[in-house]
Amino acid sequence: EGPKADGLMKLMQSLKDAGTPVDGVGFQMHLDADFDRFDEVAKNFQTIADMDLDVYVTEFDVSIRSGQTEQQQAKVYEEVLSLCLDQPRCKAFQTWGFTDMYSWRAQYDPLILDRRYQAKPAYLALQKRLGGN
């Protein structure tokens, strides 16, 4: 929540009011492993859906900064995926890469496979959540 989200919602409403052909909104989400504002993400997804627009998570990664853990990272991956799956207008959940080796944020190991292409807890959390659907 805040000025960016408010600005996005105003922009989308003004485009719709002007008759601009808009079908959805892509969310670029580059989070940290201590992220916990899932209620705000759900609210933003719902606000977009209430405008009769689809929701897309077009870039997703979760950085592990000093003092943060892979388990925290996995929780953020799983929670945001769950928000997408629970929102009928969410049409895609896409990570911003898959291995830490080539990530644009490589120093923070933000992706679901490590530098040796081994599954991290985040990968397993996504797999578990998708398996429950």
Amino acid at 26: G
Nearest alpha carbon to residue 110 among 82, 67, 76, 84: 76
Q: pLDDT digit string (tens) for 65-110?
A: 999 999 999 999 999 999 999 999 999 999 999 999 999 999 999 9
Q: How far apart are CA 14 and CA 9, in angstroms?
A: 9
As a three-state string, the secondary structure of 34-92 is CCCCHHHHHHHHHHHHHCCCEEEEEEEEEECCCCCCHHHHHHHHHHHHHHHHHCCCEEE
Q: pLDDT digit string (tens) for 10-67?
A: 999 999 999 999 999 999 999 999 999 999 999 999 999 999 999 999 999 999 999 9
